[in-house]
Amino acid sequence: MRFRLLVASMLVIVLAGASLFARHRRWPVKVLRDADAERVDMRPVPSSVAHLGALPTPVTWLLGGPVNHRLGPIEYRTFEVAADLKGLKTESDGDYHIVIADRADPSKVMIVEIPAPRENPKLAAEFGQARTAVDEHLGKPERNIRWVQPRKVRVVGVGFFDRLTNDQESPAPNGIELHPVLKITFE
């Protein structure tokens, strides 16, 4: 009996660890602390939700993708998107998960995420200011998605391809996100 309990406990730990690894396996890239972070062009390129969502998913990502490196050229770029903010929540990792829609075609949506300031000391001020802007205009996000009356925003963030999973709220069809968000302005 004791052996079965030990095996069951170990199995739970292994599966939980594997799940956490799968969910966060590109964490350094998400928070701009990866091996390629210094090579990211921080000058924002104007874009739109529709344009970003129509980009092809990199073949290397479809094959598994690198853990501590970026997928070129999109993940080496910073984008500025004018969009409508439609929903928000706080992820289990502490990120603010925000759903934005294209202004010209609201059926085109994508996720942008603001990490907690502790995740990157070099960008703590930017992350903190972006989160404060959200808090001041919409209140702190909760664990469950809260859909709001669309609010016009400008979001500046780094391109990132995330794995599409069933627990994501309104991802772009190709998995692109702006992660991390460096600035969000309510218009």
- The domain spans of the chain are 26-186
pLDDT in tens, the chain (187 residues): 554 443 333 333 333 333 333 446 799 999 999 999 999 999 999 999 999 999 998 877 766 678 889 998 999 999 999 999 999 999 999 999 999 999 999 999 999 999 999 999 999 999 999 999 999 999 999 999 999 999 999 999 999 998 877 667 789 999 999 999 999 999 9
Q: Which CATH number fits domain 26-186: 2.40.50.140, 3.20.20.370, 2.40.50.100, 3.40.50.2000?
A: 2.40.50.140
What are the C-alpha distances in Å from 55 to residues 26, 46, 67, 73, 175? 20, 15, 21, 11, 10
Chain mean position to CA 9? 32
